[in-house]
Chains A and B, each alone.
Chain A
Amino acid sequence: MNKTAANTHSHVKEPLIRIVKRDGLKLSKLVLVYVGAILLAMIIGCILLASMGVNPFKFYEKMLTIGVVGNAFPYKCFEGYIKLFTPLLIVSVALSLAFRMKFWNVGGEGQFIVGALVAGWISAIIGESAPSFLVLILMSLGGAIAAGFYGSIASVLKVKFGTNETLMTLMLNYIALYLIMFFGETKADWNILLNEDSARPIFKTFFENAWMPVIKIGSFSLNISLIIAFVITALIFVYLKKTKQGYELSVVGDSISTANYAGMKTGRIIIRTVFISAFLIGLAGAFYVSTAHSLSTSVTNDVGWTGVIVAWLSKLNTLAIVVTSALISILRYGCTQAAAEFASVDSHFADLLQGIILFSVLACDFLTRFKVIINLKRRKSHE
């Protein structure tokens, strides 16, 4: 009995690195960590760019200034930026609603497409005859409601049967994608979305009544949908913080059994919230086609995916979403601007860089939750 166990154990050393949980970080340090993460990613991007034979600093300069510098029509850059930023803001805010209930709606792409498609269809029917404001309202409402119902497929199934909503909304994305491709590539009498004058199937340009109005500030046109996007964001902020529905949402998201226990109709709350989420995404889709004046099979610009990432990066905080989506839009829009100048860089560099930034943020996020202790004086068990 009791053989000296320590003898067989003589090489154990204390580990060099230890990881310990921490309570949380001050805001200033938090910002520092994230800035560090972005810098780290940019440095990796630098190396990549340099290896492509591109001067990374020139590229970054172009990117971060979204192409304004040295441009004869700088206001066009702002307009292009807003065109990208507006849908991203609305979609990210909308997704954060569903995410707050731990409903992983990754179906932003599909819901956006459905919204855009229905809005396009409505504009094709009534765009010529009806007054502009009516066309715009019907387009927005039609697109939003259709997207709302499309999103509800996943939520109703989730509530009724517990169907995995992540995979479900994913599949719905692809189904919507092939749907819009079907409309875009099928020449037929019934297909009023296509340009009649073209032999090849292409989407036609909207009637002018269906164009999103702009406010002229000099030569710069401020798109009304940007203002509406900010109003929506503010309303959602109040909705979450102050209303009963917002309260229900946070209880359901925090503990579904507690919500049941309190007598809340949790299924209804989930379906309602996901409807609102998808409704807003569809609205963004309608706004977008009305701003672009036409449909396209690549109408989403990956906004459904980027929105997931923005919402998560912002920790579902509405105000943080405004900042993050503005920054990500700079990255994405700036990248296409810069890529246009440097022939050897593909515009997909934005995806790549975004991926690296996120990896880097995910890695640095670790520092906000854990402390790393480096132990240089490692003790041995048996000396």
Chain B
Amino acid sequence: MAAEYAIELKNINKSFGSVAANKNISIGLRRGEILALLGENGSGKTTLMNMLSGIYKPDSGSIFVDGEEVLINSPEDSKRLGIGMVHQHFKLVEKFSAADNIWLGAEKTGLFLKKSRYKKIEEMASRFGFEIDASKLVSNMSVSEKQTLEILKVLYYGANIIILDEPTAVLTVQEIRKLFSVLRKMKEDGHSIIIITHKLDEVMDISDRVAVLRKGEYIDTVNTADTNQQQLTELMVGKKIDLNIERVKTEKKLPLLEIRDLTVNNDENAVAIDHVNFYIRGGEILGVAGIAGCGQKELCEAIAGLRPVQSGMIIHEGENIIGWTPKKIIEKGISMSFIPEDRLGMGLAPSLSIIDNMLLKKYNDSKGIFVDRVQGKADADRVIKELSVVTPSANTPVRLLSGGNVQKVLLGREISSGPNVIVTAYPVRGLDINSSYAIYDILNAEKRKGTGILFVGEDLDVLLALCDKIMVLCHGKVMGIVHAHKTTKEELGLMMTGALDYNDEKAFGIAKDSRINEKTEAGGEPNE
């Protein structure tokens, strides 16, 4: 028991092509501690940890386990050294059962698959204090069940150094609390844990020490007890920053977009949005909270006319737009931007230039058979200038830009079309703090102009600070719409899991000054 550190990284360098992801990083994990690895998106946390899990190999530098230098060439080496990592994007085979996902890597279990494996895995799980159904297919599991399975996998292979990459990103407040108690118990059992995160309150809650990375460089390691959120932010961002998101006050206006009794199906033809009512006024930001995949995407697509509606109405300025083509809806002034997980999937054509992406919704407005790229160039230059997009030129393919700049291009284009309703989902997904604030500022500026905004978000803190009202979705149903300044994260968390449902207590989602009149209602189903 000589070495102080369970694992230690010294002078690690790693680059991808011309991009240096890790520059000369040295950190150490003490035995039996929880170390938070803090940094913004793109600061190189995951890259660094993937060198411990054997997915990447460092360009230079050394790794010590228990004071002895080791080489990790593959995940197999990592497994043998007792290092286990729970990746942010779970590495699970969806079509396999829980047991098979663990069994996959088990050695010396014979040539054949035996039924007894289910029992063995369940016993192992209960030894660590988890109750699982080992024969359940991963595709039928909830996010937190999948995460539990990933943790079990790591424990099964006897890891005593456990790395978790953004484990809380997809969990509700209650689930996070449960996860943290699991981590504390693992720590008591003698495991050493690294948790990657960029959420400060969680760092303060769970960790013993915090190591901070910024833009691929190591900044400092501090004891959690000796620091505070403001100091950590400064370490992380590199300058003093105002952590408050402004909630702009505007005058109350008439409802712009009203959703009545809307039901929408998903790709598998199951109900994704279930009899939903809500409305957005001009100059208002309505937040949408919910666990990932509980209907957000389908809602956005239905409003934009990209997905057929089963029943209900979507009323824009008193006109039912159901059945309209996406093109007509765009022209009516509804802009939708959705940042999917891969960030480039919808709204932008990654291989095309910024200019061509600017033209996406209006290339057909010019006369003749040729595309008017002069107009596109003017638009691109304006957006680049106004939103300070960092790019070599307007001809650069969008996929070569960094995440923040990609999202600025997308939002910039949407705003330049002068919409009166903006539907935006996850606009700050994967962005660093500065870029995120730039996006919030853009949205607030639009709000001031009287635009109605539907903001689908992930981070409850952001929703609470930015939005006027928050609607909570759970399995496609609205659990309630609450005023952002009156609610708490706990309340939202309970609503997200369906534990708290306001449907029985009070009516919501239908404006008293609704612009739905007899004429529009004739087309849809009456609601009241």
The residues of A with any CB-CB pair to B shorter than 8 Å are 1-2, 4-6, 8-9, 12-15, 18, 21-23, 242-248, 250-251, 254-255, 257-263, 379-382
CB of A263, distance to nearest CB on chain B (Å): 3
Point out the residue from A12, A22, A242 that lies within 8 Å of B371, measured CB to CB.
A242
In contact, B65 and A18 (Cβ under 8 angstroms): no
Q: Does B18 contact A (CB under 8 A)?
A: yes
In contact, B370 and A242 (Cβ under 8 angstroms): yes
What A residues does B350 contact at CB under 8 A?
A: 254-255
Q: Does B325 contact A (CB under 8 A)?
A: yes
Q: Does B304 contact A (CB under 8 A)?
A: yes
In contact, B73 and A247 (Cβ under 8 angstroms): no
In contact, A244 and B68 (Cβ under 8 angstroms): no
Q: Does B66 contact A (CB under 8 A)?
A: yes
What A residues does B73 contact at CB under 8 A?
A: 12, 14-15
Q: Does B81 contact A (CB under 8 A)?
A: yes
What A residues does B352 contact at CB under 8 A?
A: 250-251, 254
A381-B71 in contact given A1-B160, A255-B346, A263-B330 (Cβ < 8 Å): yes
Those of B311-360 within 8 Å (CB) of chain A: 325-330, 336, 338, 344-352, 356, 359-360
Excluding A242-B371, A244-B364, 12 further A-B contacts by CB distance (< 8 Å) are A6-B66, A9-B77, A12-B70, A15-B73, A243-B370, A244-B369, A247-B363, A255-B345, A262-B330, A263-B305, A263-B361, A379-B71
What A residues does B69 contact at CB under 8 A?
A: 6, 381-382
A6-B326 in contact given A242-B370, A243-B369 (Cβ < 8 Å): no
In contact, A262 and B360 (Cβ under 8 angstroms): yes
What B residues does A1 contact at CB under 8 A?
A: 160, 190
A13 to B66, CA, bound (A): 19
Q: Closest A-chain residue to B340, C-beta based?
A: A257
In contact, A258 and B71 (Cβ under 8 angstroms): no
CB of B297, distance to nearest CB on chain A (Å): 11
Q: Closest A-chain residue to B349, C-beta based?
A: A254
Q: Does B419 contact A (CB under 8 A)?
A: no
Q: Closest A-chain residue to B345, C-beta based?
A: A257
In contact, B71 and A380 (Cβ under 8 angstroms): yes
In contact, A5 and B81 (Cβ under 8 angstroms): yes
What A residues does B305 contact at CB under 8 A?
A: 263
Q: Closest B-chain residue to A243, C-beta based?
A: B369
What A residues does B371 contact at CB under 8 A?
A: 242-244, 246-247
In contact, B349 and A4 (Cβ under 8 angstroms): no
In the A-B complex, the 8 residue pairs with the closest CB atoms: A263-B327, A263-B326, A23-B17, A254-B349, A6-B68, A381-B71, A262-B360, A1-B190
In contact, B370 and A258 (Cβ under 8 angstroms): no
In contact, B160 and A2 (Cβ under 8 angstroms): yes
In contact, A262 and B68 (Cβ under 8 angstroms): no
What A residues does B325 contact at CB under 8 A?
A: 263
Q: Does B112 contact A (CB under 8 A)?
A: no
Q: Does B1 contact A (CB under 8 A)?
A: yes
A-B contact pairs, 11 of them (CB 8 A): A6-B66, A6-B68, A6-B70, A23-B18, A243-B370, A244-B364, A244-B371, A250-B349, A255-B344, A255-B350, A261-B336
Q: Total A-B residue pairs with C-beta atoms closer than 8 Å?
A: 114
What A residues does B65 contact at CB under 8 A?
A: 5-6
Q: Closest B-chain residue to A13, C-beta based?
A: B71
In contact, B31 and A2 (Cβ under 8 angstroms): yes
In contact, A255 and B80 (Cβ under 8 angstroms): no
What A residues does B68 contact at CB under 8 A?
A: 4, 6, 382
In contact, A254 and B361 (Cβ under 8 angstroms): no
In contact, B348 and A255 (Cβ under 8 angstroms): yes
A255 to B371, CA, bound (A): 19
In contact, B70 and A257 (Cβ under 8 angstroms): no
Point out the residue from A5, A8, A21, A380 that lies within 8 Å of B16, measured CB to CB.
A21
Q: Does B57 contact A (CB under 8 A)?
A: yes
Q: Closest B-chain residue to A260, C-beta based?
A: B306
Secondary structure dominating the interface of B: loop
What A residues does B326 contact at CB under 8 A?
A: 260-263
CB of B331, distance to nearest CB on chain A (Å): 9
- A-contact bits for B60-80, CB 8 A (1 contact / 0 none): 000001101111010001001
CB of A19, distance to nearest CB on chain B (Å): 10
A261-B306 in contact given A6-B66, A14-B71, A18-B57 (Cβ < 8 Å): yes
CB of B235, distance to nearest CB on chain A (Å): 30
A244 to B367, CA, bound (A): 10
In contact, B306 and A9 (Cβ under 8 angstroms): no
What A residues does B336 contact at CB under 8 A?
A: 261
CB of B316, distance to nearest CB on chain A (Å): 16
In contact, B349 and A9 (Cβ under 8 angstroms): no
In contact, B360 and A21 (Cβ under 8 angstroms): no
- A-contact bits for B295-312, CB 8 A (1 contact / 0 none): 000000000111000000
What B residues does A23 contact at CB under 8 A?
A: 17-18
In contact, A247 and B330 (Cβ under 8 angstroms): no
Q: Closest A-chain residue to B336, C-beta based?
A: A261
Q: Does B492 contact A (CB under 8 A)?
A: no
What A residues does B190 contact at CB under 8 A?
A: 1-2
CB of B350, distance to nearest CB on chain A (Å): 6
CB of A255, distance to nearest CB on chain B (Å): 5
A9-B70 in contact given A242-B371, A251-B360 (Cβ < 8 Å): yes
In contact, B349 and A251 (Cβ under 8 angstroms): yes
Point out the residue from A5, A242, A259, A261 that lies within 8 Å of B82, measured CB to CB.
A5
What A residues does B18 contact at CB under 8 A?
A: 23
Point out the residue from B77, B306, B363 that lies within 8 Å of A12, measured CB to CB.
B77
Q: Does B151 contact A (CB under 8 A)?
A: no
In contact, B345 and A244 (Cβ under 8 angstroms): no
In contact, B359 and A261 (Cβ under 8 angstroms): no
In contact, B370 and A244 (Cβ under 8 angstroms): yes
- A-contact bits for B1-43, CB 8 A (1 contact / 0 none): 1000010000000001110000000000001000000000000
A179 to B349, CA, bound (A): 41
What B residues does A246 contact at CB under 8 A?
A: 371
A263 to B361, CA, bound (A): 7
A381 to B64, CA, bound (A): 10
A242 to B361, CA, bound (A): 17
What B residues does A380 contact at CB under 8 A?
A: 71
A324 to B378, CA, bound (A): 37
Q: Closest A-chain residue to B31, C-beta based?
A: A2
A379 to B347, CA, bound (A): 48
What A residues does B347 contact at CB under 8 A?
A: 258, 261
In contact, B346 and A258 (Cβ under 8 angstroms): yes
What B residues does A379 contact at CB under 8 A?
A: 71
What B residues does A242 contact at CB under 8 A?
A: 370-371
A246 to B369, CA, bound (A): 10
What B residues does A5 contact at CB under 8 A?
A: 65-66, 70, 80-82
What A residues does B370 contact at CB under 8 A?
A: 242-244
What A residues does B369 contact at CB under 8 A?
A: 243-245
Point out the residue from A2, A13, A262 that lies within 8 Å of B1, measured CB to CB.
A2
CB of B111, distance to nearest CB on chain A (Å): 24
What A residues does B327 contact at CB under 8 A?
A: 263
CB of B309, distance to nearest CB on chain A (Å): 16
In contact, B70 and A244 (Cβ under 8 angstroms): no
A258 to B345, CA, bound (A): 7
Q: Closest B-chain residue to A381, C-beta based?
A: B71
A120 to B514, CA, bound (A): 69
What A residues does B16 contact at CB under 8 A?
A: 21
Q: Closest A-chain residue to B376, C-beta based?
A: A247
CB of A12, distance to nearest CB on chain B (Å): 5
CB of B328, distance to nearest CB on chain A (Å): 8
A335 to B69, CA, bound (A): 59
In contact, A261 and B80 (Cβ under 8 angstroms): no
A257 to B337, CA, bound (A): 12
Those of B255-275 within 8 Å (CB) of chain A: none
